[in-house]
Amino acid sequence: MTDVLLTSEAFVKQVTSISDNIAGKYIQPAIREAQEFGLRYILGSALTERLKEMVASGTTGDADNVAYLDLLQRCQYYLAYAAVVEVAQKTSFKVANFGIVKTTDENAQTATQDEVAKVRYYYQAKADGHALDIQRWLLENRAAFPELDACACGRIAANLKSAASSGLWLGGARGKRGGGPCR
């Protein structure tokens, strides 16, 4: 399948505080990463692929697809903020032939790594809030999406206990592992 993005570069620039001058070569990969490595974990692969198919075919506006269009619209802010998390790092440092570099200009000061981390944290918190809203809405409207099976709904419900992004697992009783057919 062709590469289908569920949001646009223009939308990301419109709703966030990033510069209109940021090149598409930074934004489009960031959107792709937000979509494939963020949104896919929120919606599940089947529902993400269904949205991509509908966008590619232009059928999101069909009368039968009202729930999918609503979901797609709800995902826009998550994708925008998650993309900016990626863009913040990509534009701060560049990989060049002689290593990782940061560019300087006489009219601008580059941010420190700590400042970049704070900006990324700000946008990640916004993306996490939108992810929580999407997941709650999905569970409330699960009947409209045949792609959401019991396993996908179980994973979404489990994630609602902690919507914050972290490299650490933050939940559950120590030494206890959930059973069941979906792992």
Q: For the segment 24-36, what is each residue's pLDDT rounded down to a tens digit?
A: 899 999 999 999 9
From residue 124, how far is each of 45, 78, 145 by CA, in Å?
Answer: 22, 9, 27
* Max Cα distance, the chain (Å): 60
Name the nearest CA neighbour of 137 among 49, 67, 80, 82.
67
Token pair in block for residue 172: 């559950």
The string of pLDDT tens digits covering residues 77-119 is 999 999 999 998 888 777 777 777 766 666 666 777 888 888 8
pTM: 0.81
Per the DSSP assignment, residues forming a β-bridge with 101 are 94
The string of pLDDT tens digits covering residues 134-146 is 999 999 999 999 9
